[in-house]
Structure 1
Amino acid sequence: MPERNAFAATLRDRIAQQLRDQILSGVLPNNSKIGIDELATQFGSSRTPVREALIELSHQGLVEIVPRRGATVTGMSVDTVRDNFNVFGGLSGLAAEWTTMRANTEVTARLRAIIDEAGPDMTAEQLIENNWRLHREINRNCGSDRLIAMIGQLSSTMPASYFNLIPEQVQISLREHADLVNAIARGDAAGARFLAEHHLRQAGEQMVQRIENTARDTAAS
Protein backbone atom coordinates (compact mmCIF):
# COMPACT_ATOMS: atom_id res chain seq x y z
CA MET A 1 0.00 0.00 0.00
CA PRO A 2 1.00 3.54 -0.64
CA GLU A 3 2.93 5.68 1.81
CA ARG A 4 0.87 8.47 3.26
CA ASN A 5 0.58 9.86 6.76
CA ALA A 6 -3.14 9.49 7.35
CA PHE A 7 -3.11 11.82 10.34
CA ALA A 8 -2.87 15.33 8.96
CA ALA A 9 -1.74 18.03 11.35
CA THR A 10 -4.12 20.86 10.44
CA LEU A 11 -7.80 21.24 9.65
CA ARG A 12 -6.93 22.40 6.14
CA ASP A 13 -4.88 19.22 5.66
CA ARG A 14 -7.70 17.01 6.92
CA ILE A 15 -10.22 18.66 4.59
CA ALA A 16 -7.85 18.39 1.63
CA GLN A 17 -7.07 14.77 2.48
CA GLN A 18 -10.72 13.74 2.71
CA LEU A 19 -11.60 15.43 -0.57
CA ARG A 20 -8.49 14.01 -2.25
CA ASP A 21 -9.43 10.48 -1.18
CA GLN A 22 -13.00 10.93 -2.41
CA ILE A 23 -11.79 12.21 -5.78
CA LEU A 24 -9.06 9.59 -6.25
CA SER A 25 -11.46 6.79 -5.31
CA GLY A 26 -14.30 7.99 -7.53
CA VAL A 27 -16.66 8.84 -4.67
CA LEU A 28 -16.59 12.40 -6.05
CA PRO A 29 -16.68 11.87 -9.83
CA ASN A 30 -15.68 14.40 -12.45
CA ASN A 31 -17.85 17.54 -12.62
CA SER A 32 -19.09 17.13 -9.03
CA LYS A 33 -19.69 20.46 -7.29
CA ILE A 34 -17.98 21.19 -3.97
CA GLY A 35 -19.54 23.98 -1.92
CA ILE A 36 -17.43 25.95 0.54
CA ASP A 37 -20.29 26.61 2.97
CA GLU A 38 -21.37 22.95 2.98
CA LEU A 39 -17.84 21.78 3.74
CA ALA A 40 -17.36 24.42 6.42
CA THR A 41 -20.54 23.20 8.12
CA GLN A 42 -19.47 19.56 7.80
CA PHE A 43 -16.11 20.22 9.45
CA GLY A 44 -17.39 22.82 11.90
CA SER A 45 -14.93 25.36 10.59
CA SER A 46 -14.79 28.77 8.99
CA ARG A 47 -14.58 29.13 5.22
CA THR A 48 -10.84 29.88 5.32
CA PRO A 49 -9.44 26.33 5.80
CA VAL A 50 -11.92 25.04 3.20
CA ARG A 51 -10.73 27.60 0.65
CA GLU A 52 -7.10 26.77 1.44
CA ALA A 53 -7.79 23.04 0.99
CA LEU A 54 -9.47 23.64 -2.37
CA ILE A 55 -6.56 25.80 -3.52
CA GLU A 56 -4.17 22.97 -2.63
CA LEU A 57 -6.27 20.48 -4.61
CA SER A 58 -6.45 22.87 -7.55
CA HIS A 59 -2.64 22.98 -7.65
CA GLN A 60 -2.71 19.17 -7.87
CA GLY A 61 -5.13 19.32 -10.80
CA LEU A 62 -8.00 17.66 -8.93
CA VAL A 63 -10.45 20.57 -8.80
CA GLU A 64 -11.12 23.83 -10.60
CA ILE A 65 -11.90 26.81 -8.39
CA VAL A 66 -15.18 28.60 -9.15
CA PRO A 67 -14.98 32.16 -7.74
CA ARG A 68 -17.38 32.79 -4.82
CA ARG A 69 -19.03 29.41 -5.36
CA GLY A 70 -16.60 26.63 -4.47
CA ALA A 71 -15.00 24.18 -6.85
CA THR A 72 -15.71 21.61 -9.54
CA VAL A 73 -14.00 18.23 -9.55
CA THR A 74 -11.79 17.71 -12.57
CA GLY A 75 -10.68 14.38 -11.13
CA MET A 76 -8.72 11.62 -12.79
CA SER A 77 -9.50 8.97 -15.37
CA VAL A 78 -9.05 5.32 -14.45
CA ASP A 79 -6.01 5.28 -16.75
CA THR A 80 -4.43 8.09 -14.72
CA VAL A 81 -5.22 6.32 -11.44
CA ARG A 82 -3.61 3.15 -12.79
CA ASP A 83 -0.59 5.11 -14.00
CA ASN A 84 -0.20 6.77 -10.59
CA PHE A 85 -0.11 3.43 -8.81
CA ASN A 86 2.26 1.91 -11.38
CA VAL A 87 4.70 4.83 -11.23
CA PHE A 88 4.50 4.93 -7.44
CA GLY A 89 5.08 1.18 -7.42
CA GLY A 90 8.14 1.53 -9.64
CA LEU A 91 9.73 4.06 -7.30
CA SER A 92 8.76 2.05 -4.22
CA GLY A 93 10.26 -1.05 -5.80
CA LEU A 94 13.52 0.78 -6.39
CA ALA A 95 13.52 1.96 -2.76
CA ALA A 96 12.93 -1.61 -1.56
CA GLU A 97 15.78 -2.88 -3.72
CA TRP A 98 18.24 -0.25 -2.50
CA THR A 99 17.17 -0.70 1.12
CA THR A 100 17.75 -4.45 0.82
CA MET A 101 21.27 -3.81 -0.45
CA ARG A 102 21.98 -1.58 2.57
CA ALA A 103 19.90 -3.24 5.30
CA ASN A 104 21.48 -4.44 8.52
CA THR A 105 19.99 -6.38 11.41
CA GLU A 106 18.68 -3.20 13.05
CA VAL A 107 16.72 -2.21 9.93
CA THR A 108 15.21 -5.66 9.47
CA ALA A 109 14.34 -5.83 13.18
CA ARG A 110 12.43 -2.53 12.92
CA LEU A 111 10.58 -3.77 9.83
CA ARG A 112 9.65 -7.05 11.51
CA ALA A 113 8.44 -5.19 14.60
CA ILE A 114 6.10 -3.11 12.45
CA ILE A 115 4.55 -6.06 10.62
CA ASP A 116 4.28 -8.04 13.87
CA GLU A 117 2.04 -5.28 15.24
CA ALA A 118 -0.40 -5.58 12.33
CA GLY A 119 -3.38 -7.89 12.45
CA PRO A 120 -7.02 -8.30 11.41
CA ASP A 121 -8.19 -7.04 14.81
CA MET A 122 -6.81 -3.57 14.06
CA THR A 123 -9.13 -0.77 13.03
CA ALA A 124 -8.84 0.61 9.50
CA GLU A 125 -7.13 3.71 10.89
CA GLN A 126 -4.58 1.60 12.76
CA LEU A 127 -3.89 -0.46 9.65
CA ILE A 128 -3.41 2.70 7.60
CA GLU A 129 -0.93 4.03 10.14
CA ASN A 130 0.90 0.68 10.29
CA ASN A 131 1.08 0.59 6.49
CA TRP A 132 2.48 4.13 6.41
CA ARG A 133 5.13 3.32 9.04
CA LEU A 134 6.30 0.22 7.15
CA HIS A 135 6.69 1.98 3.82
CA ARG A 136 8.31 4.98 5.49
CA GLU A 137 10.88 2.73 7.17
CA ILE A 138 11.71 1.01 3.88
CA ASN A 139 11.91 4.25 1.93
CA ARG A 140 14.03 6.21 4.37
CA ASN A 141 16.69 3.47 4.43
CA CYS A 142 17.18 3.41 0.65
CA GLY A 143 20.13 5.82 0.84
CA SER A 144 18.79 8.32 -1.72
CA ASP A 145 17.33 11.65 -0.64
CA ARG A 146 16.23 12.26 -4.23
CA LEU A 147 14.26 9.02 -4.40
CA ILE A 148 12.66 9.71 -1.01
CA ALA A 149 11.62 13.18 -2.21
CA MET A 150 10.10 11.81 -5.42
CA ILE A 151 8.12 9.20 -3.49
CA GLY A 152 6.92 11.92 -1.12
CA GLN A 153 5.73 14.06 -4.01
CA LEU A 154 3.82 11.20 -5.61
CA SER A 155 2.22 10.17 -2.33
CA SER A 156 -0.34 12.96 -2.77
CA THR A 157 -1.82 10.97 -5.68
CA MET A 158 -2.52 7.99 -3.41
CA PRO A 159 -5.77 7.68 -1.40
CA ALA A 160 -4.80 7.63 2.29
CA SER A 161 -7.97 5.82 3.42
CA TYR A 162 -7.38 2.89 1.06
CA PHE A 163 -8.39 0.20 3.57
CA ASN A 164 -11.63 2.03 4.33
CA LEU A 165 -12.42 2.06 0.63
CA ILE A 166 -11.33 -1.52 -0.10
CA PRO A 167 -11.46 -3.51 3.18
CA GLU A 168 -11.07 -6.84 1.38
CA GLN A 169 -7.52 -5.77 0.53
CA VAL A 170 -6.42 -5.86 4.18
CA GLN A 171 -5.50 -9.54 4.38
CA ILE A 172 -3.76 -9.44 1.00
CA SER A 173 -1.75 -6.41 2.06
CA LEU A 174 -0.69 -8.01 5.35
CA ARG A 175 0.60 -11.10 3.53
CA GLU A 176 2.41 -9.01 0.93
CA HIS A 177 4.03 -6.87 3.62
CA ALA A 178 5.34 -10.00 5.35
CA ASP A 179 6.70 -11.37 2.06
CA LEU A 180 8.41 -8.05 1.33
CA VAL A 181 10.08 -7.85 4.74
CA ASN A 182 11.21 -11.47 4.44
CA ALA A 183 12.83 -10.70 1.08
CA ILE A 184 14.64 -7.71 2.57
CA ALA A 185 15.79 -9.76 5.57
CA ARG A 186 17.31 -12.49 3.41
CA GLY A 187 19.06 -9.97 1.15
CA ASP A 188 16.98 -10.68 -1.96
CA ALA A 189 17.15 -7.21 -3.54
CA ALA A 190 15.58 -8.21 -6.87
CA GLY A 191 12.81 -10.09 -5.07
CA ALA A 192 12.09 -7.15 -2.78
CA ARG A 193 11.81 -4.83 -5.77
CA PHE A 194 9.44 -7.20 -7.57
CA LEU A 195 7.24 -7.66 -4.49
CA ALA A 196 7.00 -3.91 -3.79
CA GLU A 197 6.11 -3.14 -7.41
CA HIS A 198 3.54 -5.95 -7.56
CA HIS A 199 2.07 -4.79 -4.24
CA LEU A 200 1.31 -1.33 -5.63
CA ARG A 201 0.21 -2.51 -9.08
CA GLN A 202 -2.26 -4.92 -7.55
CA ALA A 203 -3.56 -2.25 -5.17
CA GLY A 204 -4.02 0.07 -8.15
CA GLU A 205 -6.04 -2.50 -10.07
CA GLN A 206 -8.31 -2.94 -7.06
CA MET A 207 -8.83 0.83 -6.92
CA VAL A 208 -9.57 1.02 -10.65
CA GLN A 209 -12.11 -1.78 -10.28
CA ARG A 210 -13.78 0.07 -7.42
CA ILE A 211 -13.99 3.31 -9.42
CA GLU A 212 -15.47 1.49 -12.41
CA ASN A 213 -18.01 -0.30 -10.21
CA THR A 214 -19.00 2.97 -8.53
CA ALA A 215 -19.45 4.68 -11.89
CA ARG A 216 -21.53 1.76 -13.18
CA ASP A 217 -23.75 1.74 -10.09
CA THR A 218 -24.23 5.51 -10.31
CA ALA A 219 -25.20 5.32 -13.97
CA ALA A 220 -27.70 2.54 -13.26
CA SER A 221 -29.41 4.39 -10.39
Structure 2
Amino acid sequence: MIRVVLADDEPVVRFGVKAVLATAGDVEVVAEAENGSEVVDKVARHRPDVAVLDIRMPVLDGLDAARIIRECHPATKTLVLTTFADDSYISRALGEGAAGFVLKTGDPQEIISGVRAVAGGGAFLSPLVAKRVVDQLSRAHPRPLAARRIEVLTAREREVLGLLGAGLSNAEIAARLHVVEGTVKVYVSTIFRQLGVKNRVQAAIIAHESGIIPAS
Protein backbone atom coordinates (compact mmCIF):
# COMPACT_ATOMS: atom_id res chain seq x y z
CA MET A 1 0.00 0.00 0.00
CA ILE A 2 1.34 3.45 -0.97
CA ARG A 3 0.96 5.85 1.95
CA VAL A 4 0.22 9.48 1.07
CA VAL A 5 0.04 12.78 2.93
CA LEU A 6 -2.15 15.24 1.02
CA ALA A 7 -1.77 19.02 1.32
CA ASP A 8 -4.02 21.71 -0.17
CA ASP A 9 -5.54 24.77 1.46
CA GLU A 10 -8.88 24.17 -0.29
CA PRO A 11 -10.99 21.49 1.47
CA VAL A 12 -12.93 20.77 -1.73
CA VAL A 13 -9.71 20.01 -3.62
CA ARG A 14 -8.46 17.75 -0.83
CA PHE A 15 -11.79 15.92 -0.81
CA GLY A 16 -11.67 15.42 -4.57
CA VAL A 17 -8.06 14.23 -4.69
CA LYS A 18 -8.60 11.91 -1.74
CA ALA A 19 -11.69 10.45 -3.46
CA VAL A 20 -9.68 9.86 -6.64
CA LEU A 21 -6.85 8.16 -4.76
CA ALA A 22 -9.34 5.96 -2.89
CA THR A 23 -10.31 4.35 -6.20
CA ALA A 24 -6.74 3.18 -6.83
CA GLY A 25 -6.88 0.25 -4.43
CA ASP A 26 -3.18 0.49 -3.58
CA VAL A 27 -3.07 4.07 -2.23
CA GLU A 28 -4.01 5.25 1.27
CA VAL A 29 -4.19 8.90 2.38
CA VAL A 30 -2.85 8.71 5.93
CA ALA A 31 -3.04 12.44 6.72
CA GLU A 32 -4.17 15.77 5.29
CA ALA A 33 -2.80 19.29 5.72
CA GLU A 34 -3.93 22.76 4.69
CA ASN A 35 -0.57 24.54 4.63
CA GLY A 36 3.07 23.80 3.97
CA SER A 37 4.19 23.92 7.58
CA GLU A 38 1.52 21.45 8.60
CA VAL A 39 2.40 19.02 5.84
CA VAL A 40 6.08 19.03 6.83
CA ASP A 41 5.04 18.13 10.40
CA LYS A 42 2.74 15.36 9.18
CA VAL A 43 5.39 13.91 6.90
CA ALA A 44 7.73 13.76 9.91
CA ARG A 45 5.02 12.04 11.94
CA HIS A 46 3.66 9.57 9.38
CA ARG A 47 6.71 9.01 7.11
CA PRO A 48 4.58 8.50 3.97
CA ASP A 49 5.84 7.25 0.64
CA VAL A 50 4.50 10.34 -1.17
CA ALA A 51 3.52 13.88 -0.24
CA VAL A 52 1.01 15.39 -2.69
CA LEU A 53 1.45 19.16 -2.46
CA ASP A 54 -0.44 22.13 -3.78
CA ILE A 55 1.95 24.88 -4.84
CA ARG A 56 0.09 27.84 -3.41
CA MET A 57 -0.54 27.39 0.31
CA PRO A 58 -0.37 29.76 3.29
CA VAL A 59 2.38 29.85 5.95
CA LEU A 60 4.77 27.82 3.76
CA ASP A 61 4.13 27.19 0.08
CA GLY A 62 4.31 23.76 -1.50
CA LEU A 63 7.72 24.30 -3.05
CA ASP A 64 9.35 25.32 0.22
CA ALA A 65 7.66 22.31 1.80
CA ALA A 66 9.06 20.09 -0.99
CA ARG A 67 12.57 21.40 -0.30
CA ILE A 68 12.31 20.71 3.43
CA ILE A 69 10.88 17.25 2.84
CA ARG A 70 13.69 16.45 0.38
CA GLU A 71 16.33 17.59 2.87
CA CYS A 72 14.85 16.12 6.06
CA HIS A 73 12.82 13.14 4.84
CA PRO A 74 14.34 12.01 1.54
CA ALA A 75 12.45 8.70 1.57
CA THR A 76 9.23 10.66 0.99
CA LYS A 77 8.80 11.69 -2.65
CA THR A 78 6.84 14.78 -3.60
CA LEU A 79 4.19 15.15 -6.29
CA VAL A 80 3.14 18.74 -7.01
CA LEU A 81 -0.42 19.75 -7.86
CA THR A 82 -0.29 22.60 -10.33
CA THR A 83 -2.40 24.72 -12.68
CA PHE A 84 -1.45 26.44 -15.92
CA ALA A 85 -1.39 29.67 -13.91
CA ASP A 86 1.56 28.22 -11.98
CA ASP A 87 3.94 28.10 -14.95
CA SER A 88 6.36 30.48 -13.26
CA TYR A 89 6.82 28.02 -10.41
CA ILE A 90 7.87 25.05 -12.53
CA SER A 91 11.58 25.86 -12.84
CA ARG A 92 11.77 26.54 -9.12
CA ALA A 93 10.00 23.27 -8.35
CA LEU A 94 12.54 21.34 -10.40
CA GLY A 95 15.27 22.64 -8.15
CA GLU A 96 13.37 21.82 -4.98
CA GLY A 97 13.33 18.10 -5.67
CA ALA A 98 9.72 17.58 -6.75
CA ALA A 99 9.43 14.20 -8.46
CA GLY A 100 6.34 14.98 -10.48
CA PHE A 101 3.70 17.47 -11.60
CA VAL A 102 -0.01 16.81 -12.00
CA LEU A 103 -2.67 19.22 -13.22
CA LYS A 104 -5.57 19.81 -10.86
CA THR A 105 -7.80 20.19 -13.89
CA GLY A 106 -6.44 17.20 -15.79
CA ASP A 107 -7.47 13.57 -16.02
CA PRO A 108 -7.98 12.27 -12.44
CA GLN A 109 -6.22 9.05 -13.43
CA GLU A 110 -3.03 11.08 -13.80
CA ILE A 111 -3.01 11.72 -10.05
CA ILE A 112 -3.01 7.98 -9.40
CA SER A 113 -0.38 7.37 -12.07
CA GLY A 114 1.75 10.16 -10.65
CA VAL A 115 1.59 8.83 -7.10
CA ARG A 116 2.50 5.32 -8.26
CA ALA A 117 5.34 6.57 -10.43
CA VAL A 118 7.06 8.71 -7.81
CA ALA A 119 6.48 6.14 -5.06
CA GLY A 120 8.33 3.64 -7.22
CA GLY A 121 11.27 5.99 -7.65
CA GLY A 122 10.20 7.35 -11.03
CA ALA A 123 9.28 10.81 -12.29
CA PHE A 124 5.90 11.89 -13.59
CA LEU A 125 4.71 14.80 -15.69
CA SER A 126 1.11 15.16 -16.75
CA PRO A 127 1.22 15.27 -20.56
CA LEU A 128 -0.19 18.80 -20.70
CA VAL A 129 2.30 19.96 -18.06
CA ALA A 130 5.14 18.36 -19.99
CA LYS A 131 4.03 20.08 -23.18
CA ARG A 132 3.75 23.44 -21.44
CA VAL A 133 7.21 23.10 -19.86
CA VAL A 134 8.80 21.89 -23.08
CA ASP A 135 7.21 24.77 -25.00
CA GLN A 136 8.69 27.20 -22.48
CA LEU A 137 12.10 25.59 -22.60
CA SER A 138 12.06 25.43 -26.37
CA ARG A 139 11.71 29.19 -26.60
CA ALA A 140 14.95 29.54 -24.65
CA HIS A 141 16.61 26.35 -25.91
CA PRO A 142 15.38 25.30 -29.36
CA ARG A 143 14.91 21.58 -29.88
CA PRO A 144 18.06 21.18 -32.02
CA LEU A 145 20.07 22.44 -29.04
CA ALA A 146 18.33 19.97 -26.76
CA ALA A 147 19.12 17.17 -29.18
CA ARG A 148 22.77 18.18 -29.19
CA ARG A 149 22.77 18.23 -25.41
CA ILE A 150 22.12 14.49 -25.26
CA GLU A 151 24.80 13.68 -27.83
CA VAL A 152 27.18 13.07 -24.91
CA LEU A 153 25.10 10.00 -24.02
CA THR A 154 25.54 6.56 -25.49
CA ALA A 155 22.66 4.99 -27.41
CA ARG A 156 21.81 2.87 -24.35
CA GLU A 157 21.91 5.87 -22.05
CA ARG A 158 19.55 7.74 -24.39
CA GLU A 159 17.23 4.74 -24.31
CA VAL A 160 17.26 4.78 -20.51
CA LEU A 161 16.67 8.55 -20.51
CA GLY A 162 13.67 8.14 -22.79
CA LEU A 163 12.12 5.53 -20.51
CA LEU A 164 12.87 7.66 -17.45
CA GLY A 165 11.13 10.55 -19.19
CA ALA A 166 8.10 8.32 -19.75
CA GLY A 167 7.81 7.98 -15.96
CA LEU A 168 9.24 4.48 -15.51
CA SER A 169 11.00 3.56 -12.28
CA ASN A 170 14.44 1.92 -12.27
CA ALA A 171 12.81 -1.48 -11.75
CA GLU A 172 10.44 -0.93 -14.69
CA ILE A 173 13.28 0.23 -16.94
CA ALA A 174 15.30 -2.84 -15.95
CA ALA A 175 12.39 -5.11 -16.85
CA ARG A 176 11.89 -3.34 -20.18
CA LEU A 177 15.57 -3.59 -21.12
CA HIS A 178 16.10 -7.08 -19.63
CA VAL A 179 18.91 -5.98 -17.31
CA VAL A 180 19.28 -5.94 -13.53
CA GLU A 181 18.09 -2.88 -11.60
CA GLY A 182 21.63 -2.13 -10.40
CA THR A 183 22.72 -1.63 -14.00
CA VAL A 184 19.92 0.90 -14.53
CA LYS A 185 20.97 2.79 -11.40
CA VAL A 186 24.46 3.12 -12.85
CA TYR A 187 23.03 4.38 -16.15
CA VAL A 188 20.82 6.92 -14.36
CA SER A 189 23.73 8.23 -12.26
CA THR A 190 25.85 8.59 -15.39
CA ILE A 191 23.02 10.38 -17.21
CA PHE A 192 22.58 12.84 -14.34
CA ARG A 193 26.30 13.57 -14.30
CA GLN A 194 26.61 13.92 -18.08
CA LEU A 195 23.60 16.22 -18.37
CA GLY A 196 24.32 18.20 -15.20
CA VAL A 197 20.89 17.55 -13.63
CA LYS A 198 19.97 16.95 -10.01
CA ASN A 199 16.89 14.75 -10.20
CA ARG A 200 14.67 12.58 -12.38
CA VAL A 201 12.25 15.36 -13.24
CA GLN A 202 15.02 17.55 -14.63
CA ALA A 203 16.22 14.58 -16.67
CA ALA A 204 12.65 13.86 -17.80
CA ILE A 205 12.27 17.43 -19.04
CA ILE A 206 15.36 17.02 -21.21
CA ALA A 207 13.96 13.74 -22.52
CA HIS A 208 10.69 15.45 -23.48
CA GLU A 209 12.47 18.47 -24.91
CA SER A 210 14.70 16.23 -27.04
CA GLY A 211 11.81 14.20 -28.38
CA ILE A 212 13.13 10.79 -27.28
CA ILE A 213 10.15 9.58 -25.25
CA PRO A 214 9.23 6.15 -26.67
CA ALA A 215 5.72 5.54 -27.97
CA SER A 216 3.54 3.82 -25.39
Common fold: TM-score over 0.5: no
More helix by share: 1
- TM-score, normalized by length of structure 2? 0.27
TM-score by length of structure 1 reads 0.26
**Which one has the bigger strand percentage?**
2
Which one scores higher on RCO, CA 8 angstroms, separation ≥ 6? Answer: 1
